[in-house]
C-alpha cells in the first residue's frame, strides 16, 4: 500500500488508516450494544492482519472505550511497525461548559498519561484535540500545552479533530497544528475548499467519515423516509460507481477522497475482515481521473449542514 507523509512532518502513513472506534465502543449502523461488537481476541487478530496487509496508521482516542487498551495489547511487540494517533479527552464537560484555562495543562497531561498506559507506549505519533471548536481554538493554553508536548518529545506531532469548515480554516491559519482530522466524503465536500491552503502551509489532512458511518456502502440501501432526498443522492453515486467500473460504492467513495493530493490518509472504520479487505482493495493507487473527479466535485449534497449523523441517530433515522 502506498504511503504519504503527513504535511510537513516526517511521519509516513498508509493511505488507509484503521479507524479504531468500532473495536472500542458500540458504533455504526446495526451496532447497539457490546453484544454486537467484535470480540477482543478477534479485534487483536484483525489489527495484526491490518499491519501484515500494509496498513501502518491506527487512529483511536481516550474516549473510544476499550479501543486504546486493545491496540496496546495488539501492538505491544510491534510498536515500531505502527503510527498511532490518539485524542485527548473532551475539553467540554457534560453541561457543555469548557474547563477553565487554569485546568488545561493538568487535564491534557492526565489524559495523555492514561492513553500512554493503555497503549503500552512511551510516546504517541500524532496527538490531537478531540473536537476543537471556535471557542477551544480561542484558548491559548490549549495550543501552548500541545506544543510543549511536542517539544518534549512525548508526541511527535500535534493535531486537531474538527467538524465545521470554519474550524479547518482556523486550524490551518494558526500555524500551530501539524494535522487536521476532518469529515469529507462524496456527500459532504465542504472542507475541500481549504485543501489547497493546507497543502501550502504543510498541514496534513486526515479524512474521516468517508463512508458516512455506512451510508455510502452497499450494506444500506433503504433509509428512513425523512432522508428520502439523501437516499436519492446516494443512489446517484451508486449509479456513477457502477458506470465507471468501480467495485461497489465504498471503493468509489474511498478513492474519491484519496484522489485529493492534500489528503494524507483516509480513516476507515474496520471491525470485520471483509471491511479490511474492502479498504485495502480501495487503496489501489489508481484513483478518479480528472474528468470524473470534477464531475463528482460538482455533485456534493447542496445542504451539507443537514448531514448530521449524530442528530439522525437521536431521532431514530439510522
pLDDT value, residue 260: 96
Rg (CA), the chain: 19
Average pLDDT over residues 153-168: 97
**DSSP H or E segment with residue 291:** helix 290-297
Average pLDDT over residues 213-221: 79
Average pLDDT over residues 265-282: 93
Average pLDDT over residues 104-130: 98
Average pLDDT over residues 151-173: 97
Question: Percent of the chain beyond pLDDT 70?
Answer: 98
pLDDT-wise least confident of 43-52, 184-193, 307-316 = 307-316
Average pLDDT over residues 172-188: 97
Residue 221 — very low, low, confident or very high, per pLDDT cuts 50/70/90? low
How far is 83 from 64, CA to CA, in rounded Å? 17
Assign 3-state DSSP to the chain and report helix, strand, coil percentages, each to 5.
45, 15, 40
| Averaged confidence pLDDT in the chain | 93
pLDDT value, residue 218: 76
Q: Is the pLDDT of residue 292 over 80?
A: yes
How far is 266 from 91, CA to CA, in rounded Å? 25
Residue 256 — very low, low, confident or very high, per pLDDT cuts 50/70/90? very high
Alpha carbons within 13 A on the beta-carbon side of 11: 31
Q: Which residues pair with 4 in a beta bridge?
A: 13
For residue 210, the tally of other CB atoms under 10 A from its CB is: 26
What are the structural domains, with CATH classification, of the chain? 3-314 (3.20.20.100)
Per the listing, cell 469548515 goes with 165
For residue 45, what are the contacts with CB-CB under 8 A and spacing of at least 6? none
What are the cell numbers at 272?
Answer: 470485520
pLDDT value, residue 224: 87
How far is 305 from 282, CA to CA, in rounded Å? 27
**More confident position, 26 or 196:** 196
pTM for this entry: 0.94
What are the cell numbers at 58?
Answer: 491506527
Beta strand pairing call for 263-269 and 16-19: parallel
Average pLDDT over residues 114-137: 97
pLDDT value, residue 94: 86
Q: Is the pLDDT of residue 210 over 90?
A: yes
What are the cell numbers at 261?
Answer: 493530493
Average pLDDT over residues 50-56: 97
How far is 230 from 100, CA to CA, in rounded Å? 40
Residue 308 — very low, low, confident or very high, per pLDDT cuts 50/70/90? confident
pLDDT-wise least confident of 37-51, 68-82, 188-202, 277-291 = 277-291
Amino acid at each position: 500500500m502506498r504511503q504519504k507523509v503527513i504535511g510537513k512532518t516526517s511521519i509516513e502513513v498508509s493511505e488507509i488508516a484503521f479507524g479504531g472506534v468500532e473495536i472500542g465502543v458500540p458504533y455504526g449502523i446495526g451496532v447497539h450494544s457490546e453484544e454486537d461488537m467484535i470480540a477482543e481476541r478477534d479485534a487483536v487478530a484483525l489489527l495484526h492482519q491490518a499491519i501484515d496487509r500494509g496498513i501502518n496508521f491506527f487512529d483511536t482516542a481516550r474516549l473510544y472505550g476499550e479501543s486504546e487498551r486493545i491496540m496496546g495489547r495488539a501492538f505491544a511487540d510491534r510498536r515500531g511497525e505502527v503510527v498511532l494517533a490518539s485524542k485527548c479527552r473532551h475539553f467540554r464537560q457534560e453541561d457543555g461548559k469548557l474547563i477553565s484555562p487554569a485546568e488545561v495543562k493538568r487535564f491534557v497531561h492526565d489524559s495523555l498519561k492514561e492513553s500512554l498506559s493503555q497503549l503500552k507506549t512511551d510516546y504517541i505519533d500524532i496527538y490531537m484535540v478531540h473536537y476543537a471548536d471556535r471557542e477551544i481554538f480561542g484558548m491559548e493554553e490549549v495550543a501552548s500545552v500541545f506544543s510543549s508536548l511536542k517539544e518534549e518529545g512525548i508526541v511527535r506531532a500535534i493535531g486537531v479533530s474538527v467538524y465545521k469548515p470554519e474550524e479547518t480554516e482556523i486550524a490551518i491559519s494558526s500555524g500551530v497544528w501539524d494535522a487536521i482530522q476532518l469529515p469529507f466524503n462524496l456527500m459532504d465536500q465542504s472542507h475541500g475548499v481549504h485543501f489547497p491552503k493546507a497543502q501550502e502551509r504543510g498541514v496534513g489532512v486526515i479524512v474521516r467519515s468517508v463512508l458516512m458511518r455506512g451510508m455510502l456502502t452497499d450494506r444500506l440501501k433503504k433509509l428512513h423516509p425523512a432522508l428520502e432526498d439523501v437516499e436519492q443522492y446516494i443512489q446517484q453515486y451508486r449509479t456513477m460507481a457502477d458506470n465507471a467500473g468501480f467495485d461497489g460504492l465504498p471503493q468509489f467513495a474511498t478513492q474519491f477522497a484519496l484522489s485529493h493530493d492534500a489528503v494524507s490518509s483516509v480513516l476507515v472504520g474496520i471491525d470485520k475482515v471483509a471491511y479490511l479487505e474492502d479498504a485495502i482493495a480501495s487503496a489501489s493507487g489508481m484513483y478518479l481521473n480528472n474528468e470524473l473527479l470534477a464531475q463528482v466535485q460538482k455533485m456534493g449534497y447542496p445542504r451539507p449542514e443537514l448531514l448530521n449523523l449524530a442528530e439522525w441517530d437521536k431521532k431514530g433515522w439510522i
